[in-house]
Structure formats: C-alpha cells, structure tokens
Amino acid sequence: MFQSEPEADALPKKRKKKRRWKRVSISPVTLGLIFAVNALTLIILGWPLLRERFDLPIAPAPWEAAAHPETSSTPAPPSTTASPTQTPTPSRTPTASNTPTPSHTPTPSHTPTPSATLPAYTPDPAIWEQGLLVIALQEGLDSHLFVYQPLPQDTGASLPLLRLTTGSWQDTAPALSPDGQQIAFASNRSGVWDLYLLNLGSGEITRLTDTPEYDSAPSFSPDGLWLAYETYRDDNLEIVIAPIDGAQAPIQLTGHRAMDASPAWSPGGRQIAFVSTRGGHKHIWIADLDKSDEARFTELSQSFEFSADHPTWSADGRYLAWGAINEQGIHTIRIWDSENPKSPPRDAGSGDWPAFSPDGQLLFTTLRTPQRTFLTAYALNAPEIPLLPPLPMVGAVNGLAWGPAGTSGAVVNLQVPTPTPLYSAVIVDDPRIPFGRKQVVPLSDVEAPIPELHDAVDEAFQAFRARLAAATGWDLLASLENAYVPLTSALEPGRQQDWLYTGRAFEVNTVPVMAGWMAAVREDHGRETHWRVYLRTRFQDGSQGVPLHDLP
C-alpha cells in the first residue's frame, strides 16, 4: 500500500513521485499465533492419514458385549483346572547343562480340558511376522491379558487388542513361551497368587503352582521346559527354578536377605537377569548358572540409577534391556551388550518396561506417568526417533512380553459385557444455593473433624473405601485426619490453597504409619515428586495383597 503526495503549483510540469512501501512490523506473539493456526490446520487436514497409519483398531468390541449382537449370551472363560500331580524332591544347585534337566518325567493325573468353546479371531497372516505382543492391562479393579500388534505391515494390517482372559481377579506378568504357543502368567483367581499356563490356540488354562506363597513373574527357559519365577519365602522375595511338568520341587536360585525378583532367563540358557536390592537400590543383576554361591552374581546397573526394573533379553541373547530412573527422575530404557560386558549400558529412549521384537530390531516399552501409562516403540539402531507415537492405554500395564507367534491362524478372543460402574453419583440440588453450586454432604460412619465431602464425590469415596477395606482386611478410611475444611478454618502454615477447602479431597490418619501398617514410596517423574501409599494387609497368609517390591 502506498500514499501519493499533492503536486506543487510552482512546478512547470508534473513530476512523478516514486512509490514508497509502508513497512509493516509483526510482533513475536502475532507470528506465533499465525504459526499455531497453520500447524493446527495441517494437523486437522492430515489427521485421516495419521489415523490410518497409527491408530489402534479394537477387535470386535473387546470392552463391550459380544461382537455378534444377535447372540445375547457371553462365552464363559476357561475354567481353572488342577495341575498335574507333582512329586517333590530335595532342592539342589542347578547343573552346568544348557538348562536344568528333570530327573524323571511324571505321569499327569489327568489332562485339563477347557470348559467351553471360546470365540476366535483370525487376523491377517502378515501380522504374525512381527510376533505377538502380550499385555496385562488394568481394567478398573481387575487386570487381564490381551494380545496386540499396533505396528502395521506393508499391507496396512495390524492386530487389534484381543482379550485373552477375564474375571474378577488379577492376571499379570505374562511370559510368552519360546515357540509362541503358550503364555505363563501370575493370577490370584484361586484366592492366592499362583502361576498358570494359557494355550493360545484353545484357550485352555492350566494351573502350574498350588502353594499359599506368592508366585509371580515367570520366565521361560530356552527349551520351554522350565520356569524361573519369584516367590515369597521366609518373609522375603526370592527366585526359584522349577520344571513346568512338576517333575521335581523348585530349586532356589537366590537366598540373600535383600529382595530378589523379576527374573529374565537368557536365550543362551546359562544366565538369569533379575532385580535385587542387595546393593541398597533396586538394580539389575546377573546370575551365572555355571558358577556357585555368591560368585555367580554380578551387578549391571550403574551407580546413578536410582531404581531399575523389568529386565528383558533380545531373542539372540546379545542385549539385555531394562527400565531405569536416575536421580533427576528421568525414566530411561538402558541396554547392555553381553558381547562387550565391560562397556557401560547405553540409553535407548524414554520408557519403563521394555520388550524386544523377535528379530531384535524393535523395542516396545511403556511410558509411565503419575496418572497414565502409554505405549511406544523404538528402532534399536535409532532410539531417538519413536516408531510409534505414545499411545495411551486404558489402564496401568501390569506386564509386557513380545515373542514369536506360534500360530498363523485364530487366537482366542473373549468377549465380556460392559463392566458395571463402580459407583453412581447422586446429586441433590438445593434451591437455596445460588448459581447452581453444589453442596457438601455428610459421610456415614466416618470420623473426621467435619465428616463431609462435595456432593459430586461422596459416592466415589464410599465405593473406594469399601473396595480398599475388602482388599486389605481393615478400614483405613473410617477415621480421617480431615475431610471437608471450610474457608473459615485455617490449616497449617503453607497450606492456604488446599484441595481440602473444595470438599474434593481427604487427609488420611497417619497413626498407621507409626504402627507399621502404612508405607509411602517415592516416585520421581522429572522435576515432580509423587508418593505412592501402600497398606499392610490384615491377613498375611497369601490371600490378600502382594509383597512390596519398592523400597519405602
């Protein structure tokens, strides 16, 4: 845009003026807004392509009623059947053979059979080339197993989220057998924590252990005949080795006064990685089965790792990966090269629970935040570029395993009804309260200075209280330090802006801490520090709770 000037009368002839362009300046804020609008437009227009490339199809309503609306009944889950009769023998030290060998082959008392024919899902055959990703996902109050493959092939096919187990219990810590035909996992479906074996083709579930002790975190030997797992013995977590067929009693691998848990059997058969607190922190250790006593144990974690967990081997046995948290609260996947054992482990992207692909080229991992869990994947040779954008999971991940697909056909796909809500909010409108604001309502059978909460959350509190009391055997929330605090009351110095004033928070009584019935574990997420509270269960016979794996 330009502006012309008037002509002068004294000039004998017209003189043409040069055009002048007006300079327009744009502030950084305006420039940023323009960039943001353009970026948002690009994302919206390109979302169909991104969705086609990365979005996760959910197989015929795995969270809802049966996939076929004309069928009203829900298939029953496979029944829990007794394991083959075991003949205990004295414990011994593992031999130097490739894997421990049972002294004899027992005759099973009977062959377990599934109680019902389960529906199956037949995916694109190209999907099986990348193997199976087995996930234990938290669903409300329970945890169940799913099989999954979110990375599409060249054909664009990907495996939806398929349900493998269901029920009012916890199914966790899945481990895929070397042939990809079976999944070993831990469950409290019988009332105590034991190990089970799931056949992927038939859906048949066999109980492997039947003890009052806590058993979890199974890991297959390379030949698929043995399991290493964690168990609770003499008030401590230890690692044992046992044959799947129950030919002999478990062989105890560790016996340290510190915690030893989460074993991972190497594909070479002669090493077992595990988590231990014997050095003062949760670190990764290696047990060499060709050595004896304490000489067989070697620490792999470095001193700056504040906490380490979930070791897993690549299929060729060269690399060992685990999730680590440093002193700055950064969550990182660490990888150790067994062919260069003296070299320190290297970082391989952000994450907490890794799993190698069968070809060893990809690494799936969970990303845990204080409120949500995500799933992502990296290329092993380029971990700085995620192959899969962080995908939010429907709940916490209680186990992750990736292995070869032992089938190229159908897999069991259980369908269950929509879960019943844990509570229903009942709002009582009071016309005397202006502007549509809600009131605080009294809490029944609760002791507190003012036993009241906001009307929108009181049912949620009572549902949580009932579930917590059933799980622990005692009612922590029957007596509170504080519930609702009116604005006219003052809290301690430094607590001027507190959720207690809103009626949407409560403060637990700290007396159980002094009595040893409550423990707080620190969790660092970057610059944020969070505290996770654990309660001691009333009954210590294995029917309630799990052993504490973290250091208070």
349 φψ region: left (φ > 0), alpha (ψ -120 to 50), beta (else): left
What's the average model confidence in pLDDT over 340-364?
A: 92
Q: What mean pLDDT do residues 151-180 have?
A: 80
378 & 477 share domain: no
Is 78 a member of any domain? Answer: no
Asked if 203 and 190 touch (Cβ cutoff 8 Å), the reply is no
Give 11: exposed, middle or buried? Use CB within 10 Å, 0-12, 13-18, 19+.
Answer: exposed
Segment 53-79 mean pLDDT: 34
Cβ-contact 445, 475 below 8 angstroms = no
Please give the share of the chain, as a percent, with pLDDT higher than 90.
54
**pLDDT tens, residue by residue, 249-301:** 999 999 999 999 999 999 999 999 999 999 899 999 999 999 988 899 999 99
Q: Residue 34 has what pLDDT?
A: 56
Decide if pLDDT at 460 tops 90. yes
Q: Is residue 350 part of a domain?
A: yes
Q: How confident is the model at residue 113 (pLDDT cuts 50, 70, 90)?
A: very low
Does residue 472 share a domain with residue 330?
A: no
Work out the average pLDDT over 200-223: 94
Mean pLDDT within 331-353: 94
287: helix, strand or coil: strand
Residue 399 has pLDDT above 90, yes or no: yes
DSSP state of 293: G
Same domain, 383 and 300: yes
Top-confidence range, 119-133, 169-183, 434-448: 169-183
Are residue 229 and residue 324 in the same domain, yes or no? yes
Mean pLDDT of the chain: 79
345 lies in the same domain as 451? no
Under the banding of pLDDT at 50, 70 and 90, the label for residue 107 is: very low
Mean pLDDT of 56-80: 34
Judge whether 138 lies within some domain.
yes
- Band the pLDDT of 7: cuts 50, 70, 90: very low
Q: φ, ψ for residue 294 (rounded to 5)?
A: -75, -15
pLDDT at 422: 80
pLDDT of residue 72: 35
Residue 412: pLDDT band (50, 70, 90) is low
**531 part of a folded domain:** yes
Token pair in block for residue 13: 């002839």
Give the percent of the chain with pLDDT over 70: 72
Number of domains in the chain: 2
Does 361 fall in a domain?
yes
Query: What is the Cβ-side half-sphere exposure of residue 528, based on CA atoms within 13 angstroms?
Result: 7
Among 381, 412, 443, the domain-final residue is 412
Structure confidence at residue 407 as a pLDDT band (50, 70, 90): low
Q: How confident is the model at residue 96 (pLDDT cuts 50, 70, 90)?
A: very low
**Predicted pLDDT of residue 365:** 95
Which of 81-95, 119-133, 430-444 shows the highest mean pLDDT? 430-444
- 343 lies in a domain? yes
**Same domain as 294, residue 389:** yes
Do residues 245 and 195 share a domain? yes
Between 52 and 318, where is the model more confident? 318
What is the rounded average pLDDT of the residues 145-172? 76
pLDDT above 80 for 67: no
- Looking at the structure, tell me whether residues 308 and 269 fall in a common domain: yes
Domain co-membership, 142 together with 235: yes
How big is the chain by its Cα radius of gyration, in Å? Answer: 29
pLDDT at residue 201 above 90? no
Domain that holds residue 338: 120-124+132-412
Question: Does the structure show a pLDDT above 50 at 11?
Answer: no
Quick one: 304 and 155 in the same domain?
Answer: yes
Side-chain-side CA neighbours of residue 67 (13 Å): 14
Q: Is pLDDT above 70 for 543?
A: yes
**Please, which pLDDT band fits residue 468 given cuts at 50, 70 and 90?**
very high
Q: What is the pLDDT of residue 130?
A: 67
Cross-strand bridge partners of residue 336:
320
Residue 41 has pLDDT above 60, yes or no: no
pLDDT at 158: 54
- 46 is a domain residue: no
- The CATH number of residue 168's host domain is 2.120.10.30
Which residue did the predictor score with more confidence, 423 or 281? 281
Per residue in 187-198, pLDDT (tens digit) is 999 999 999 999
Same domain, 498 and 406: no
pLDDT in tens, 117-153: 334 444 444 544 667 889 999 988 899 999 887 665 5
Q: Could you read off the pLDDT of 221-250 as tens digits, one per residue?
A: 999 999 999 999 999 999 999 999 999 999
Looking at residue 552, its pLDDT comes to 82
Q: Coil, helix or strand for 446?
A: coil
CA distance 294 to 316: 27
User: CA-CA distance, 531 to 481, in Å (whole number)?
Assistant: 18
Query: In this model, does residue 28 exceed pLDDT 80?
Result: no
Selected residue with higher pLDDT from 286 and 358:
286
How high is the pLDDT of residue 339? Answer: 94
Same-domain pairing of 405 and 451 = no
- Asked if the structure places residue 7 within a domain, the reply is no
